[in-house]
Amino acid sequence: MFRARRQAGGSSRLRSRDLADEALAGLLQRPGRSVLTMLGTVLGIGGFVAIVGLSQTANGQIGTAFSRLDATEVTVTDSAAAAAKTPTLDFPANADARAGRINGVVAAGVWWTVALKHGSVSARPPGTPSAGLRLTVTAATPDALAASGAALRSGVLFNRFHQDRAQNVAVVAAPAAAQLGLASLADQPAIFIGGQPFTVVGILSGNQRLPQLNLGVIVPERTALRIWGPPSHGNAAHMIIRTRLGAAPVVASQVPVALRPDDPAALTATTPVSGSSLQRTVTSSLNTLLLALAGIALIVGMIGIANTTLVAVLERKSEIGLRRALGARPVHISAQFLAESTALGLFGGLTGASLGVVTVLVVTVLHHWTAVLAPGLVLAAPAAGAVIGLLAGLYPGLRASAVEPAEALR
């Protein structure tokens, strides 16, 4: 065996299995130091996996919650009125009917917030010594209430009959009803809005799409127009449109022309921010910061590995000399230190990826979410750690290969 190798005049060789064994043995010489050296990579890779995993999981939750509303709602704003200096209403009188004729529209109605010039909302007649409440008063068509998904706790919603006749009726949100002392509608109680009497016909329990309706009083649009006139500057009218699933973008593109063929630019139609856009908006800023921190941890980890490996080169000079005497070439010495630093990075990456996955799982279990983790990310994390270790070992490996054996053995 020896004779054959000698006669072959071959060169010294380091088998890959021997390289792996030697690298592992080198790391296990000082296990405590190896573990501490890995910490930077563990934190960096763990941070990456946890941040990306939690981001994906949170995006999944946001997507689920928003996708339904996202696909079925359009808001039209009276943009010309918002720019005008005098009270203006650019929606036509039959706006609800016009919008309702668009294919895909389930319900559509105009609403705006009434700016009361005088007085407030009270359950007692004017002149009675009682403090009125500063409640939000909203003018809305019956179809606006339907489109908004208003739900009744008691009574009824005002309807087209009340609207067409501009009757003084009102629907009160449950919190406002409590403030006004309206416990029951059996006696057709009245409230006074800016001194005007209104019969309360219903109490709202909630509202899906227009949360501002959940705190105040809603009166028919025509009634508001009759008493207080068009929407004031700064309180431009809106139309809320509920559409069939997925029809919102098409409806949004058609509705300004349908409502104001003479001046479609007076109205601006928008769909709610999409789920994916919202996800990006919510998470991108935070993710950027956290990923930057994880990146810094990775760089620190790489510097830590490089520093430790360089110290090891200096400490193990006599070992390097011995290995050279036993037939190692400079490239073998470099390879060993590179293998050690790569192994440190790989083990750090494995540990970090595992901790990152555990973090994601713990958070999702605590929040009753469904964990979303890209398998590619989890598999790539240890590889990234190995690459970091490899890069960190380049300079120490070069230094090790330059050690003169005669000097190292002295």
> Which one of the spans 3-11, 44-52, 147-155, 372-380 is the region binding other proteins (CB under 8 A)?
3-11
Q: Is 322 in the site for other proteins (CB under 8 A)?
A: yes
Please give the Cα distance from 149 to 213 (Å, whole number): 11
- Nearest partner of 40 among 394, 363, 335, 297, judged by Cα: 297
Instruction: State the binding string over 118-137 for other proteins (x if CB under 8 A, else -).
Output: --------------------
Residue 76 forms beta bridges with which residues?
A: 239, 269
Q: Please, which residue, 280 or 329, has the CB nearer to other proteins? A: 329
Largest CA distance in the chain: 121
Asked whether 190 and 110 are in contact (CB, 8 A), the reply is: no
Q: Is 80 in the site for other proteins (CB under 8 A)?
A: no
Smallest distance from the beta carbon of 376 to other proteins, in angstroms? Answer: 36
Q: Please, which residue, 17 or 85, has the CB nearer to other proteins? A: 17
Smallest distance from the beta carbon of 340 to other proteins, in angstroms? Answer: 14
Among the listed residues 24, 25, 115, 292, the single contact to other proteins using CB under 8 A:
25
Among left, alpha and beta (phi > 0; psi -120 to 50; other), residue 125 is beta
Q: Is 160 in the site for other proteins (CB under 8 A)?
A: no
Please give the Cα distance from 373 to 60 (Å, whole number): 10
Among the listed residues 323, 385, 393, 397, the single contact to other proteins using CB under 8 A:
323
| DSSP characters over 311-350 | HHHHHTHHHHHHHHHTT--HHHHHHHHHHHHHHHHHHHHH
Among the listed residues 78, 176, 324, 382, the single contact to other proteins using CB under 8 A:
324
CB-based contacts of 319-327 (< 8 A; 24+ apart in sequence): 320/400, 320/403, 320/405, 320/408, 321/403, 321/405, 321/406, 321/407, 321/408, 321/409, 322/409, 324/403, 324/405, 324/408, 325/405, 325/409, 327/12
Q: Is 397 in the site for other proteins (CB under 8 A)?
A: no
The end-to-end CA distance of the chain, in Å, is 32
Q: Is 280 in the site for other proteins (CB under 8 A)?
A: no
Smallest distance from the beta carbon of 318 to other proteins, in angstroms? Answer: 6
Q: Please, which residue, 206 or 330, has the CB nearer to other proteins? A: 330
Among the listed residues 244, 330, 377, 399, the single contact to other proteins using CB under 8 A:
330
Q: Is 29 in the site for other proteins (CB under 8 A)?
A: yes
Identity of the amino acid at 345: G
Instruction: State the binding string over 332-351 for other proteins (x if CB under 8 A, else -).
Output: x-------------------
Please work out, in degrees rounded to the nearest 5, the angle formed at the alpha carbon of residue 387 by the alpha carbons of 363 and 288.
45
Among the listed residues 329, 354, 372, 399, the single contact to other proteins using CB under 8 A:
329
Smallest distance from the beta carbon of 395 to other proteins, in angstroms? Answer: 21
Q: Please, which residue, 25 or 292, has the CB nearer to other proteins? A: 25
Smallest distance from the beta carbon of 13 to other proteins, in angstroms? Answer: 3
Among the listed residues 16, 20, 22, 168, the single contact to other proteins using CB under 8 A:
22
Q: How remote is the C-alpha of 4 from its chain's centroid?
A: 68
| DSSP characters over 220-285 | EHHHHHHHH-SPPTT---EEEEEESTT-HHHHHHHHHHHH-TT-GGGEEEEPPPPHHHHHHHHHHH
Q: Is 321 in the site for other proteins (CB under 8 A)?
A: yes
The number of beta carbons lying within 10 Å of the beta carbon of residue 61 is 16
Going by the DSSP 8-state scheme, the letter that residue 207 receives in this structure is -
Q: Is 319 in the site for other proteins (CB under 8 A)?
A: yes
Q: Is 18 in the site for other proteins (CB under 8 A)?
A: yes
Please report, as ranges, the residues that interact with other proteins according to CB under 8 A.
1-2, 5-6, 9-15, 17-18, 22, 25, 28-29, 318-319, 321-330, 332, 404-406, 409-410
